[in-house]
C-alpha cells in the first residue's frame, strides 16, 4: 500500500502535502503507542484475575491533554491553509469556470469572449475541462441533483457541490498534461464513471483553442439561439432530460436512469 500522495502539480499547494504527512506521522505514533500498550498489558498481567480499579488521574490527564493539544494545533494550522483555498479566495485575475455536476457527468461552462460567466456568449462542454498552465483557475460549482465532489488530486483540490448552493474553490496548474477530474462523493449507481478529461495546456495553445471556441459561441449567441439565459446554467434546467443516462449522456449505463 502506498501511503504517499500523488505528485503535486499545483502551484503553491505544498502546505496540503505537509499537513497530510504531519497527520500521517501523528496518527502513526498514536497507533504504535496504543497497540504497544495493549500488547504490553496483555502480556504483563496475563496471569492476574480481573478486578475493578477506579483508574489513574495522572494517566487520564496525559492521554487527554496530548491529543487535545495536537487537535487544536492541527485545527489552527489547517484553518489558515483552508482559507487560502476555499470560498472567494481566488486571485482577481483567475480564469473563471462554471462547473455543474449531475448524475453522472460534468458540464463545464466557459465564460466566452467577454470573459464573464453568466452571459449569453458562454459555452458549455460535457466532461471536457481545458485550462491554461500557470494561471489561477477559479471554479464555481453547482449540482442539479445530489451531492457530488469536484476532485483533482494532482492539483490538491477537492470541493463538494451541494444542492441549492454555489461553492467555490480555485487552483493553479504548474505543469501541462492530461488529467482526470473525478467525482469524490458516492452519488449513485453511475458514480464510478463520473469523470471528465482535464487538459492543462500551454498558454498559447489554450488561447488559440479558447478564442476559436468562444467565436463560435458568440456567433451562436448572435443568432439568438439562446435568447435570454445561456444553456446549462442551473436556472435553465428544471428537470432531467428524457434520455438521461442513455447513450447520449454516458454510454454504457442505459439501465441506470431514474
Contact (Cβ atoms closer than 8 angstroms) between residue 190 and residue 177: no
Smallest gap, in angstroms, from Cβ of residue 103 to Cu ion? 7
The window from 80-88, 92-100, 134-142, 180-188 that contacts Cu ion (CB under 5 A) reads 180-188
Q: Which residues have CB under 8 Å from 139's CB, separation 6+?
A: 97, 99, 150, 157, 159, 168, 169, 170, 171
Q: Would strands 95-102 and 157-161 be described as parallel, antiparallel, or unpaired?
A: unpaired
Under rule CB under 5 A, residue 187 binds Cu ion: yes
Residue among 13 and 232 whose Cβ is closer to Cu ion: 232
Smallest gap, in angstroms, from Cβ of residue 247 to Cu ion? 20
Residue among 13 and 102 whose Cβ is closer to Cu ion: 102
Smallest gap, in angstroms, from Cβ of residue 72 to Cu ion? 34
Q: Which of residues 132-151 bind Cu ion (CB under 5 A)?
A: 148
Among residues 148, 13, 140, 22, the alpha carbon closest in space to that of 73 is found at: 22
Under rule CB under 5 A, residue 194 binds Cu ion: yes
What x-and-dash track marks residues 146-175 binding Cu ion by CB under 5 A? Answer: --x---------------------------
Which grid coordinates are listed for 99? Answer: 462547473
| Phi, psi for residue 183 in degrees, rounded to 5 | -95, 125
Q: Would strands 95-102 and 136-143 be described as parallel, antiparallel, or unpaired?
A: parallel
Smallest gap, in angstroms, from Cβ of residue 130 to Cu ion? 21
Q: Which residues bind Cu ion (CB under 5 A)?
A: 148, 183, 187, 194
Amino acid at each position: 500500500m502506498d501511503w504517499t500522495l500523488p505528485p503535486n502539480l499545483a502551484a503553491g499547494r505544498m502546505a496540503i502535502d505537509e499537513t497530510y504527512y504531519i497527520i500521517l506521522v501523528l496518527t502513526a505514533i498514536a497507533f504504535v503507542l496504543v497497540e504497544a500498550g495493549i500488547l504490553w498489558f496483555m502480556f504483563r498481567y496475563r496471569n492476574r484475575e480481573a478486578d475493578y480499579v477506579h483508574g489513574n488521574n495522572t494517566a487520564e490527564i496525559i492521554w487527554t491533554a496530548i491529543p487535545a493539544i495536537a487537535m487544536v494545533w492541527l485545527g489552527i494550522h489547517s484553518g489558515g491553509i483552508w482559507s487560502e483555498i476555499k470560498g472567494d479566495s481566488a486571485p482577481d485575475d483567475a480564469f473563471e469556470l462554471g462547473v455543474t455536476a449531475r448524475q453522472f457527468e460534468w458540464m463545464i461552462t466557459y465564460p466566452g469572449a467577454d470573459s464573464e460567466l453568466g452571459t449569453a456568449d458562454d459555452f458549455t462542454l460535457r466532461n471536457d475541462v481545458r485550462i491554461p498552465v500557470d494561471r489561477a483557475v477559479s471554479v464555481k460549482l453547482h449540482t442539479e441533483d445530489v451531492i457530488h465532489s469536484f476532485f483533482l488530486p494532482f492539483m490538491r483540490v477537492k470541493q463538494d457541490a451541494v444542492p441549492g448552493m454555489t461553492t467555490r474553490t480555485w487552483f493553479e496548474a504548474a505543469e501541462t498534461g492530461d488529467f482526470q477530474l473525478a467525482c469524490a462523493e458516492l452519488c449513485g449507481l453511475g458514480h464510478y464513471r463520473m469523470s471528465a478529461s482535464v487538459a492543462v495546456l500551454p498558454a498559447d495553445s489554450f488561447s488559440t483553442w479558447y478564442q476559436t471556441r468562444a467565436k463560435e459561441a458568440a456567433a451562436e449567441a448572435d443568432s439568438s439561439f439562446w435568447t435570454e439565459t445561456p444553456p446549462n446554467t442551473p436556472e435553465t434546467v428544471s428537470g432531467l432530460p428524457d434520455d438521461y443516462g442513455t447513450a447520449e449522456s454516458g454510454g454504457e449505463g442505459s439501465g441506470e436512469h431514474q
